[in-house]
């Protein structure tokens, strides 16, 4: 299960430009998030049942929990029916407060340059979408505690959060995170990750499996948030 952190330099066009290549990755990551959620909710249910059996108790039906499982499975199935057969479902996005805060701020400041219809008040909606695509995250941390890792102190919490989460790859087109557009390694303590541009990531991870990007539509993202039919 490769863990990815998507920097705002890639997350902004992914969220706001429906026809962009980053949006296609957004759709794939939404599929991975739904797969992760459905599998782990089911594991939680099985663990509760096993614990109850071992302790001589029983698990009573929890309508709210059952609804979460049903919704995740419904959305995953709906999105999976649209995606190419080769679509991987094991790429999981990592998110955390410092990343979401920066993303929301940039949607407010520069969102209209990507999509003229975006209003500053839409930033919270796009943030919630970003949060939904990110299935896991690191333990809470204070961005002020982030060590100097890049040439820009504002980027340090992004790299630091990805490291704390055990992220494998940080996808970024920010020249301070990926100087010269050439991938580089970051490490802090026992944590290590590789930062690379969006193009390098796609070339290294998806081109070897001949993934048909042309068959992925950005509009399919809505399936990841569609409510089950009554």
**Residue 2 near residue 90, CB atoms below 8 Å:** yes
Which DSSP category does 89 fall into? S
Q: For residue 200, is pLDDT > 90?
A: yes
Domain spans of the chain?
A: 3-225
Task: Give the rounded percent of residues in the chain with a pLDDT score beyond 90.
Answer: 61
Q: For residue 159, is pLDDT > 80?
A: yes
The per-residue pLDDT for 59 is 55
Task: Report how far apart, in Å, the C-alpha atoms of 227 and of each of 78, 118, 124, 131, 153 are.
Answer: 11, 24, 20, 17, 40
Q: For residue 4, is pLDDT > 80?
A: yes
The per-residue pLDDT for 53 is 55
State the Cα–Cα distance between residues 148 and 154, nearest whole angstrom. 10
Average pLDDT of the chain to the nearest whole number: 87
Q: What is the pLDDT of residues 47-103, one digit of tens each?
A: 555 554 555 555 555 666 677 778 888 888 999 999 998 899 999 999 999 999 999
The per-residue pLDDT for 68 is 74
**Residue 59 near residue 49, CB atoms below 8 Å:** yes
Q: For residue 192, is pLDDT > 70?
A: yes
Sign of CA dihedral 27, 216, 12, 193: positive
The per-residue pLDDT for 63 is 67
The per-residue pLDDT for 6 is 97
Task: Report how far apart, in Å, the C-alpha atoms of 153 and of each of 66, 96, 128, 150, 194 are.
Answer: 44, 17, 25, 7, 19
């Amino acid at each position: 299960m490769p863990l990815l952190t998507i920097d705002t330099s890639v997350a902004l066009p992914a969220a706001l430009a429906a026809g962009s290549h980053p949006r296609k990755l957004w759709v794939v990551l939404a599929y991975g998030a739904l797969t992760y959620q459905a599998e782990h909710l089911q594991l939680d249910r099985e663990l509760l049942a096993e614990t109850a059996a071992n302790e001589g108790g029983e698990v009573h039906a929890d309508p709210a929990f059952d609804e979460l499982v049903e919704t995740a499975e419904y959305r995953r199935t709906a999105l999976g029916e649209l995606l190419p057969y080769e679509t991987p479902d094991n790429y999981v996005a990592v998110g955390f407060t410092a990343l979401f805060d920066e993303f929301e701020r940039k949607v407010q400041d520069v969102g209209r340059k990507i999509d003229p219809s975006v209003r500053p008040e839409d930033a919270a909606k796009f943030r919630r979408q970003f949060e939904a695509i990110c299935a896991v995250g690191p333990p809470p941390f204070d961005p002020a505690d982030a060590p100097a890792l890049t040439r820009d102190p504002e980027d340090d919490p992004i790299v630091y959060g990805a490291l704390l989460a055990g992220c494998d790859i940080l996808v970024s087109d920010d020249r301070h995170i990926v100087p010269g557009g050439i991938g580089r390694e970051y490490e802090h303590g026992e944590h290590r990750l590789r930062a690379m541009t969006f193009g390098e990531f796609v070339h290294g991870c998806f081109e070897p499996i001949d993934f048909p990007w042309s068959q992925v539509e950005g509009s399919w993202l809505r399936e990841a948030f569609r409510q089950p039919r009554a």
